[in-house]
Every structure is written in structure tokens, then in C-alpha cells.
Structure 1
Amino acid sequence: MTSYLGRSAAAVSVLERLALVCGIRVVEFNPVTMNICQDSPCFAGFDPAAVIAGADLGLLIDIDVPFIPQMLKPADRLRWIQIDIDALKADIPMWGFATDLRIQGDSAVILRQVLEIVVARGGDAHLRKVRDRIASWHPAREAAQARRMAAAARKGSLGAIDAAYLFSRLQVLLSEDDIVLNEAVRNAPVLQQQLRRTKPMTYVGLAGGGLGFSGGMALGLKLANPSRRVVQIVGDGAYHFAAPDSVYAVSQQYGLPIFSVILDNKGWQAVKASVQRVYPDGIAQQTDSFLSRLSADHQGEQRRLVDIACAFGAHGERVDDPDDLDAAITRCLAALETGRAAVLHVDITPL
């Protein structure tokens, strides 16, 4: 059984218990919030393709896009049960995910009711079967952990810091209570693998379109959680959309210090990937002309993105050497303690 959970933060604890009692593998595809502790033995990562082949039943729980149909044809052959506050997706012109059973309601309430029934009816034989099933997933989890560690060990080079290494260092230096706001776009899967969250409400993503949302969202999260650190992780392309001058002006005026990490790959990686997906053998691919670069590498060209924040009193740094990351992150976190916003501009592997 495979389960996906989208928006319902209230269902986190009951989903974790239900997964352990029923032997459900939970996949979070493009999550908006963290819905299960990533240390849970039932957490199966962020790629539904990894578990669809062996699933006999799937649950779609409060989610708009559980997978990309074009890239996951085996999902069409699976039986699906949908639990959603909006089971008809009334505001979406076309919702093309076929389900065998649709249940409309509060997923936290419904999952709790299912849990109570399973606990009441399940006996020792059922629990032994579930324990054996969960234990059988251990090799896959170990293999995934080995892949994460191998990726985190690749630092990259001067001017081309590996994104996985950057996220792994943030994992070490941030606390488990810090709120991570993910607008890394094409590097989002790498972030999710390396920057692991174990507490509810410590991860926020984007439900749909809206590049540049993370600047204003970071301010809102800080306003709602004044005692916690908010870490905005954003690509250089999305950073342009976020109206950063307004973000840091508001941050200064209202005392809302946030920590922004800009991933600079010098372009729109999502634009390039979309062209490659539709025209894999096209002229753009043949000539490496995707019109997706934000840097032309002209003589004297400058990309001083942190200066926008510094103009409004923020602390700003740029890092192009992986060995300098830890010290720079530490200084930025220290700036937050003084009430100043902090911006770290990181040169990652170029587009």
C-alpha cells in the first residue's frame, strides 16, 4: 500500500501511527508541508516510482498532483482511494487522476477512524505480519541513506559548489525546530533528500505555480513564529520574482529577520529542462541555446544579489568555495540573533 499526503498538517501524527499499524509506505511527492517524520521506517522518500511497482493499493490524501502521469504509466494500473476535503477538485478545470473510491472529508478525522477500526480488529497475527513487512523495507532505506551520504560528500569545486553538499551542511548547522521554506525549484528534490525534517511544521513548499512566493511567505512564517528561525531557500531565478527589495524593506521595518539562501546556477534550470523534455533532439539541445541563462559572462558583469538586502540593513555574504560554507552559514545565523536579516549567495554548479 502506498500513501501520499499533501496539505493536512493535522493528520501528521495519526498518519504515522496508521502507517505503523497497517504497514503503509508513505511517499511525499512535491510536499507542501512535512507530513511524516523522515526518520519513520514507513517513510519511502519523494519518488512514487520507487514503490508503485510493488503496491497493491494507493491512497491519495489531500493532494492535487500525486505524480506526473506521463512519467509514471504503471500508476494507471493501480487501485486508488482518494481522501480529500475537496474530492471533486471543483476549482481545477481538469483533474485527470482516476480513483476507485472518493471520500470527501477531513483527512485527520477519517484516518483516525480507520486507525481505531484497525486497532480494534487487528490481532497478534496481523501485527506480526506488519512488523515483518516493515522490516523488509530496511535494505531499501539503507541503500537510500548510502546514496544520500555519497551525494553529500561531493563538495563540488570553486565556483561550482554541489547543491547536495550545501544542503547537507545546512542540515548539520540548522536546528530541528528551524522552519525551512523550499523554493529551490529544480534543486527541490535534492533539498528534500539532504535537509531532512523530523518535526511537523518545519518544512514548507509550494502547492502550485507562483515563482517568487517564498520571500513574502518567509516574512509571514516569521510573523507567525517570532521565536523560530525561518530559512528561505530560493534559486537565483525565483529570487528575481520575489521582489527582494520589498521583502527586506518589510523585514527591517517590522523586525522580521529571515535567513535567505540563494542558489545561483546562473540561469533558469526549469526552462532548460522543459525544452529538453519536449524537444530532446531539437535545435536548442544541439546548439546549447536554451535562452535560460541569467549570466552572459561579459567582462565586468556583476551579480551582487546580496546588495539588495544589505541596502535595507541585512547581513549579506557570497560563497563560491565549499570549504567556506560552514563559517558563512554560522555568521548568517548569528546575524539573525541580532535582529538582522541574512542573505547567503551561493555559487552552485552552473546551468
Structure 2
Amino acid sequence: MYTASTAFLEALGEAGVSYIFANLGSDHPGLVEAMAEARATGRSVPALITCPNEMVALSAAHGFAQTGGRAQCVLVHVECGTQALAGAVHNAAKGRIPALIFAGSSPFTQEGELRGSRNEFIQWIQDVFDQRGLVRGYMRYDNELRTGRNVKQMIHRALQFAYSEPRGPVYLMAAREVLEEEVPRVETDLSAWQPIAPAALAPEGVEDLVAALLGARRPLVVTSYLGRKAEAVEQLVRLCRRLGVAVLESVPNYMNFPADDPLYQGCQWNEPVQNQALAEADMVLVLDSDVPWISAVSRPRSDAAIFHIDTDPLKQQMPLWYIAARRVFRADVATALRQVNARLDQATIDAPAVAARMAHYRRRHADRIEALRSREQPNGAAITPEYLTACIRARVDANTIVLNEGISNYKTIIDHLMSTRPGSMFTSGGGSLGWNGGAAIGAKLAHPEATVMALGGDGSYMFSVPSTVHWMARQYKTPFLQVVYNNRGWKSPKLSALAVHPDSYASRANDIGVSFDPPPDYAGIAAAAGGALALTLHRPEVVEPALDAALKAVREEGRAAVLDVWLPHL
């Protein structure tokens, strides 16, 4: 039979989907049959990856799309599986990650009127009024398939939304009767379903930006996720070097600018201090950033000319958001920077002014690097996060992908990795913990030849559902190195409490409910679930040999490795 389920699988293949990250249920018989028929007859369909946990499934699709550029399909079970996607929905939405989430729904007939009619008690219990509403606030598009005759068109329409800026996840659902429907084969022309073309700056906008950049004494770029496009990094480097423009990363989600460039001024997270590069800038160009600064503690000077270019400058999913920008442009940053660089080709550039800017920022960059290096030595018998990250940096090569979910060590990891290559470092882009494990599987599927490293805190490790992650890593041959920055608790809630109540009962309390001491055997969980190499490290002298053994396990033995590294207690 050629059914809606057959058409569904064909549409995924046409759209370039390689994997279906699936948690199957009673709503999927039609899809199970169509996949079995395809395998039996030798017809190519996306590979099925069994995911015992739905959040891991979407995190894996997230990691694949983020590092490989293509949306994947996540298949979940009715409203229960939709809810079990949990924080991964938030991460995909906030991180602007294209993904197709497809859920079944309870059958809409109960007397056997159609193939797929209700035949299990659970189908009454799982019938809810607004299943799509569970995730609607996070989706770029959501819909219900009501007939199998336009399944392909609906898949391609949904993915058109997913790939159009601002990118993000989409959600479709269908009842069993629809998925079982016999339908005529439909041929689709994919050229009719292309994402919206990247937006460019208007000519007067280019002129305004060029004039402001040329006239500034201390121009500064602030960015967070520009680095999701390698061309944008290339264009930014070209612009900054020709004009002496500094770059500050604010809560970076990608490698946005080479950390070894003298114009790089570091990154800012939640630290409660005024950033000096931001304070002295007389012209600030915000490029692709959700949080360019935290005004309560760090902001541009009052007379700074602020310009803002973003794929989503209104931040339409954020109820409270604004910056005092002189001009705001909705544009693709790579396209916009290419326009600005083209205009500068015809401009007169003040070479002495550029040299003065370069000299100033070069001094600041050198001072910063010296300070970072000074913190990379072991502190007696304790393993510090700075030392640990420096040891990891020494083992990162051009074929390494780093996934950073360090939470209270986000900044430390970025500062001491000192990444220089686009596509080498990623965060989830969201704020729900537990992304790194599933994302590592997705990244490894997208780049089988790469060494994937997942660096995260002990809290984010537990959120990642490591028993599922490491079973999948062994089952689907996606070995990766996982380093747990273990401070035996949730340090970030403690820091948040102290930031608001620095001299209070909480500041003097021995226990505020965030400690995991004694902790679980984090490495042992991975060994039991997936045969990972499991090592727990307590002293600095064992860090480098353990990293070498772990990378040997990943690269040569084809199995995951987990290093549970004990840092000073939170």
C-alpha cells in the first residue's frame, strides 16, 4: 500500500532529512509499517534512531542541525511525548534551530469505521483538546494533518518556516486514521518550498553604518550568535581588521570571532561588573544578539551611537526587550556585512586613526590573555576549571567540535578554550539544562569524522538523561568525550541568590538546597548504560593522562568516555 505514512517518509527524504529521532507509541502503526515496508523492498528512507527519552531526541536533532545545517525529524507519542520533549523545545526555539517535531494523536473514531480506529484504552485517556497548544508558543509553525492527500505539501510548508529567518522548530500532528489512509502518490517541486531569501540592508542604511564606523574613535561590535554562519565570521573579521573595530561577545552561542585576534576583547556573561570595552565605545554595532548587555550592571556610555542588525531585531518571543539603538535593521548579518565591506571598498579610510584603534585594542587584548594564562596553573591539590579547560584546549584540533553547557563555567570554558575556527564551539542558545548529551550524539551523526567533546556542569549532566544518552551513543556508534565540571551542586542558583541578597540569611547558610554532596557516580552511570570509559579525577596531576586515555577510547576504541572532574566545592 502507498499510504500517508509512506508519503510522509518520502517527503522527509526529499527535504534532506537523514534521521528520525523516535520514541514510538500506539499512534505510530502506520509509520512503523511504512518503514518496515521500505526496508523490506530496499527503498531509501531516513534512518530511525530509537530514543528512550524525548528530550534527548530533540537535543540530538538540535545538535545535528546546529553543526550540520539540516533539520531532522523528531517523532513523539501523542500529548505525553510532546510534553516529555521538555526543555529541549525551549532550547530549539531560543537557539533558532530548525527541527520538525511530528506527533501522533489519539484516533478520532471508535467503532472501527477506519483503519487505525481506537483499540486500546489509553487512546481515550490521551485524547486532549489542544495538543498543539502545549508547544505553540515555541514553534515557528504548527498544524494538524487532516488528510493524507496533502502530507507532502504540509511537510514542505512546515520546513519552509523552520528554515526561514528567524529559524526554529515546527510541529505537526496527525491521528492514526490519517497516517493509515491510502493515498495517490504526489510529486512535489522543492523549488516551490524554499526558505525566504536573506534580507539585505537598504542603501541608506549602508551609508549610515559606514559613516558611523569611519567617524568613531572607539567602535565596538557586540555579538552572540553571528557565528552560526561561517561567512558572517569571515565578513566580520574583514570589516574589523580594515577599520580597527573591536569585538565583544555577549553570552556567545557560537565562535563569533577568533579569540587570538588582537581586536577580540573577550566575552561577558553574568559577572556584576561594567565591561570596559563597552563603557569606552562611542559607537556600538550590535549584530545578532539576544542580550548584548545587562543594563543593571554593564551598559554603553550614554552618548554612544548604537546600531542594531539582527535576524529578529524585535525579539518577538520576548515580552520585555529593548536597547536604545539609533537605527535598527532586520537583515541577515552575513549579507549586511558583505554590503558594508563592499561600500568600504570605495571609501577613504583614515589609516592613522585605524592604527591608533588597533594599538589600543591590541594592548587590551594582550593584557587579557596574560591574565587568563596566569589562572591556568593548578591551585595546589585542587583542579580548577581554568586549568582543566586549558588542558582540554591543548587537545583540541581542527577536527574537534566542542559543546559547552558549563553554566557557571560557561565563561571560563570560552575564555580558556580560545577558539579561533567557525563551527568549533557551540552552546544550546537556550536556558534549559540537559542539551549537551543528546546534542553530542547529533553532532557526531552529522560529522562522523569529528571528535565531539561535551563540556558541562554536574547539574546539566544529570539533566541530560545520561542513561539514555550513553545507551544511544553505544547503539548508534556515536562516541564522544564528556567532561563533567563537578562542583557537587547547582552553583548558578547560589550565585543568583547572592547577587540579589549579598549579605543575608542565604549568604550565611550552610545549605540552601543546591548541593549534590555526596554526588552520584556520574562516570559510572555512563559505563553501566553504554560501556563508556569512566574515570573520576580528584587531583591536577591525573588530568592530562586521563584526557589522553579518554580521547584514545573515543578515537581508536569507538566508545564514549566520561571524565568526572572534581572541582572546588560550590
TM superposition score category, shorter chain reference: over 0.9
**Match of 1:7, as an amino acid?**
Y
In structure 2, stretches of 5+ residues that fail to align are: 1-218, 269-273
* 1:217-236 alignment runs, 5 A limit: 217-236=439-458
CA shift, 1:93, in A, is: 1.5
Give the match for residue 461 of structure 2. Answer: 239
Root-mean-square deviation (CA), in Å?
1.5
1:272 aligned partner = 494
Could you say what secondary structure the match of 1:66 adopts?
Answer: coil
What SS does structure 2 have at the residue aligned with 1:280? coil
Size of the aligned set, in residue pairs, is 342
Between 268-277 and 69-78, report the one with greater CA deviation.
69-78
Q: Which amino acid aligns with 1:65?
A: V
Which structure 1 residue ranges, 4+ long, deviate > 4 Å from structure 2? 73-77
Asked if 1:331 is matched to 2:549, the reply is yes
Question: How far did residue 40 of structure 1 move?
Answer: 1.3
CA distance in 2, matches of 1:77, 1:193: 30
Tell whether the 8 Å contact from 1:4 to 1:66 is kept in structure 2 after alignment. yes
Distance 1:139 1:73 in 2: 22
8 A contact 2:222–2:248 mirrored in 1 = yes
Secondary structure, aligned partner of 1:92: coil
The 1-side partners of 2:426 and 2:264 are apart by 18
Shift in Å, 1:89: 1.3
| Cα offset, 1:187, TM superposition | 1.1
CA distance in 1, matches of 2:354, 2:283: 15
Query: Equivalent pairs: percent with the same residue?
Result: 30
- In 2, are the aligned partners of 1:21 and 1:127 still within 8 Å (CA)? no
Distance 1:176 1:50 in 2: 32
- In the other structure, the counterpart of 1:102 is 328
The match for 1:349 is 568
1:285 aligned partner? 507
Deviations 1:215-265 (A, max 9, x none): 111111111111111110010011110001111111111110110000110
Report the secondary structure of 1:131's partner residue. Answer: helix
Cα distance between partner residues in 1 of 2:294 and 2:491: 19
**Aligned partners of 1:236 and 1:242: how far apart in 2?**
10
Q: Is it true that 1:64 corresponds to 2:290 in the alignment?
A: yes
Shift of 1:77: 4.7
Q: Does 1:151 align with 2:359?
A: no
What does 1:164-313 align with in structure 2 at a 5 Å threshold?
A: 164-295=386-517, 297=518, 303-311=520-528, 312-313=530-531
Instruction: Work out whether 1:30 is the aligned partner of 2:256.
Output: no
With the length of structure 1 as denominator, give the TM-score of the two structures.
0.93
2:348 counterpart (102, 122, 126): 122
Distance 1:75 1:257, change over 3 A: farther
Contact 2:311–2:330 (CA under 8 A) maintained in structure 1: yes
d(CA) in 2 for partners of 1:170, 1:152: 11
**Helix, strand or coil for the counterpart of 2:442?**
helix
Given that residues 456 and 483 in structure 2 are in contact (C-alpha distance below 8 angstroms), is that contact kept between their aligned partners in structure 1? yes
**Pairing partner for 2:319 from 78, 93, 96:** 93
Cα distance, 1:73 vs. partner? Answer: 4.3
Higher RCO (C-alpha 8 Å, min separation 6): 1
* Bigger radius of gyration: 2
The answer to whether the Cα contact below 8 Å between 2:282 and 2:301 also exists between their aligned partners in 1 is: no
Aligned mates of 2:321, 2:359 — CA distance in 1:
36
Letter in 2 for 1:307: G
TM-score, normalised via structure 2 length: 0.58
Gaps of 5+ in 1: none
Structure 2 counterpart of 1:141, from 348, 365, 379: 365
Tell me by how many angstroms 1:127 deviates.
2.8
Once the two structures are TM-superposed, the CA of residue 96 in structure 1 deviates from its matched residue by: 2.7
Measure, in 1, the Cα distance between the counterparts of 2:367 and 2:292.
24
Distance 1:243 1:77, change over 3 A: farther
Q: 1:176, CA displacement in angstroms?
A: 3.6
Say if 2:236 and 2:337, in contact at 8 Å, map to a contact too.
yes
1:316 corresponds, among 534, 546, 552, to: 534
Offset from partner CA, 1:37-65 (integer Å, 9 cap, x none): 11112111113712022111111111111
